[in-house]
Structure 1
Amino acid sequence: MSTLLEVSGVSVTFDGFRAINNLSFRIGPAEMRAVIGPNGAGKTTFMDIVTGKTRPDEGRVIWGERSVSLLKMSEARIAQAGIGRKFQKPTVFEDQTVEENLLMALKKPRSWVSVLSYRPSREDIEKVYGLAQEIGLQDALKRKSGELSHGQKQWLEIGMLLAQEPRLLLVDEPAAGMTPQEREHTTDLLVEAAKTCAVVVVEHDMEFVRRLNCKVTVLHEGSVLAEGSLDHVTSNQDVIDVYLGR
């Protein structure tokens, strides 16, 4: 299988604490991956490195078929290259409607002239309606985003990332604070997204991870401790000792 993202021998230290320790990780173009591990395992720092927020002390982060180094790119350039990130707390424009949020997120030229003169085309409106259907908010298009439930805001933010046509989606604890029904819909959303782009989900909820039905990477002290199916990694004694046994 071809590789979309390859992290190789990456380490980063903060004030003497080694947050990432010789980490290697790879994912293919349309693949779902769950990343689990105890607090402080390096999960967030891993995502920070991939998105350009944190620069590692050593190692390589290689992107796409042309094997470009992400370490030479700014955060904005990395986002433009097709890497989208969803943080744990949803960040949507609360005073704008669902429709306006999705329109703002569409992949478009971003110069100040094009932004000021932008008028949505019929194609844009149709695309937004299609996205709203995909995330289950087609009946809420005219509602202000601030009125949505926590779960709906999470879906809207996922929709805004999908509007940018990403090649890799990094999603941080999407199930946190959701009802069982919302969690189920979120699973479906992410599984569907993984048909067209790579999706990496950081999550603590093992039931949610099981429903994703994908390969699992376990991080511990900034390195990969185990990798494989959920059943494979949860029967690993090292994983039980450092994570599941707590």
Structure 2
Amino acid sequence: MSTLLEVSGVSVSFDGFRAINNLSFRIADAEMRAVIGPNGAGKTTFMDIVTGKTKPDEGRVLWGEKSVSLLKMSEAKIAQAGVGRKFQKPTVFEDQSVQENLLMALKKPRGWFPVLSYRPSGEDLAKVATLANDIGLGDALLRKSGELSHGQKQWLEIGILLAQEPRLLLVDEPAAGMTPEEREKTTDILVEAARTRAVVVVEHDMEFVRRLNCKVTVLHEGSVLAEGSLDHVTSNQDVIDVYLGR
């Protein structure tokens, strides 16, 4: 499997506090990875660095087969290169229908004229209908997004990202505030997405992580403390001391 993203020797400090400390991380093209760790471990800063929101003080962030440096790119260019990010709180256009939200997100030319003159083709509508089915919203296509439950809004936001055809999906605590049924469906959506792209899930819910059934990276004080299966990392004494023992 070829490496899609390689973070190597990355450090960043804020006002003297080292949020990321010589962090190295790599993920392959179609791979699911869970990232866990205590609050302040650097999980959000790690995602900020990959998406270009934060520039590190040192280290490399290489992308794709040609090992292009993401550090030289703007946030917008990184998104166009295929890095998609979902934040904890869902942000969808509440007054627009599920269908309209997904249509707006489809990978299309983004100049002002194509956007103003856009009319969805039959192919676009079919693509969006398939996507809505994949995220469990096939029956809600014409509903206003503001009427959806919290869990359904989370699914819609994942769908909005998938519509942009990213090669890497960064997802922050997707299970927070969901019912058990919604959590199960979210697992299915993410596992399915990871068949064709890399998916990194930052999560505190260990049951949710277990259901993802993937390699786990444990961060602590801005660097990797342990890596491996969930059973492997949760039996690591260092992990128990700094994270699970709390």
Same fold (TM over 0.5): yes
Distance in 1 separating the partners of 2:166 and 2:57: 27
What are the equivalent positions in structure 2 for 1:77-92 lying under 5 Å apart?
77-92=77-92
What are the equivalent positions in structure 2 for 1:93-242 lying under 5 Å apart?
93-242=93-242
For residues 3-37 of structure 1, the C-alpha deviation after alignment (integer angstroms, 9 at most, x for no partner) is 00000000000000000000000000000000000
What are the equivalent positions in structure 2 for 1:64-83 lying under 5 Å apart?
64-83=64-83
Partner letter of residue 198 of structure 2? A
Runs of 4+ displaced beyond 4 Å: none
Distance in 1 separating the partners of 2:28 and 2:198: 7
Partner letter of residue 52 of structure 2? G
Following superposition, the deviation at residue 199 of structure 1 comes to: 0.1
Distance in 1 separating the partners of 2:46 and 2:10: 9
Distance in 1 separating the partners of 2:136 and 2:209: 21
Partner letter of residue 42 of structure 1? G
For residues 25-82 of structure 1, the C-alpha deviation after alignment (integer angstroms, 9 at most, x for no partner) is 0000000000000000000000000000000000000000011000000000000000
Partner letter of residue 126 of structure 1? A
For residues 166-186 of structure 1, the C-alpha deviation after alignment (integer angstroms, 9 at most, x for no partner) is 100000000000000000000
What's the % identity of the aligned pairs? 89
Q: TM-score, normalised by structure 2?
A: 1.00
What are the equivalent positions in structure 2 for 1:46-65 lying under 5 Å apart?
46-65=46-65
Following superposition, the deviation at residue 2 of structure 1 comes to: 1.3
Partner letter of residue 212 of structure 2? L
Partner letter of residue 93 of structure 2? F
Distance in 2 separating the partners of 1:66 and 1:109: 24
Distance in 2 separating the partners of 1:64 and 1:204: 29
Distance in 2 separating the partners of 1:110 and 1:2: 30
The SS at the match of 1:4 is strand
Distance in 1 separating the partners of 2:236 and 2:136: 38
Q: TM-score, normalised by structure 1?
A: 1.00
The SS at the match of 1:185 is helix
Instruction: Name 1:14's counterpart in structure 2.
Output: 14
Partner letter of residue 241 of structure 1? D
Q: CA RMSD in A?
A: 0.3
Structure 1 position 36 matched with structure 2 position 60: no
Q: How many residues end up aligned between the 2 structures? A: 246
Following superposition, the deviation at residue 123 of structure 1 comes to: 0.3
Distance in 1 separating the partners of 2:33 and 2:123: 32
Partner letter of residue 234 of structure 2? T
Partner letter of residue 230 of structure 2? L
